[in-house]
Amino acid sequence: MGRQGKGTDLRNQVLKSKARELVNQTLERSVEVRSLGIDRGTVRFMPIDPAALAISDEWERCPYPWRAVPEWKLKDPKGLDLALWHAQELCGLCYATPRRSRLRISIILLEGQPTESHPLKRLVAPLMLTAVGVYAQLLRCKVIQIERPEPGVVNYYKTLGFEFDTAGCLVISADRF
């Protein structure tokens, strides 16, 4: 097990901040986002904070334990928490972690705002995957895995490039991002 301490925790925080910053810069240059008529300057990734949690509490059909994320972050210094915003509207949340792996980062939770009309509809998963991919590369992880995907979304993940590996895990190469 690696050395833990203030220096390691600070390094982990810097890597997470750098991943968010890099993906925000990528969004600002994204032709895909611009082609959809979305003002790229209004789309940004932030940590999951109390404001994001309060908004997600109001989402209909929210079966995910987003309120547990702050506690997870305390126990999991490499865990990456992402809130995807369009201006003042929360469009999605994601929590991913390499846990004790040096090769694989797992997406534990990923949810888009359940309304049919939010501005990043159908872009939440690809944008979150881009952010997790950037972080995975910073950590030198080789694979992104969807942990326990709901059966109804497996085919969607396959359209994004995920495949089942020999162990039955839904994975994609981290270098695709």
pLDDT digits (tens, 9 = 90+) for 159-170: 999 999 999 999
pLDDT digits (tens, 9 = 90+) for 114-159: 988 889 988 999 999 999 999 999 999 999 999 989 899 999 999 9
- Relative to beta strand 163-164, strand 143-146 is unpaired
Across 55-158, the runs of DSSP E, i.e. the strands, are 80-86, 89-97, 104-112, 143-146
DSSP-derived letter for residue 162 is -
pLDDT digits (tens, 9 = 90+) for 75-128: 999 999 999 999 999 999 999 999 888 899 999 999 999 988 889 988 999 999
Please answer whether residues 62 and 53 qualify as being in contact, where contact means their C-beta atoms are separated by less than 8 angstroms: no
The domain locations on the chain are 6-176
Q: Locate 70 and state its tokens.
A: 């702050």
pLDDT digits (tens, 9 = 90+) for 17-55: 999 998 888 888 877 777 777 777 889 999 999 999 999
Give the CA angle between residues 112, 93, 157 to the nearest 5°. Answer: 55
Q: Locate 126 and state its tokens.
A: 């690809």
Which CATH architecture does the domain made up of 6-176 adopt? 3-Layer(aba) Sandwich (3.40)
pLDDT of residue 41: 80
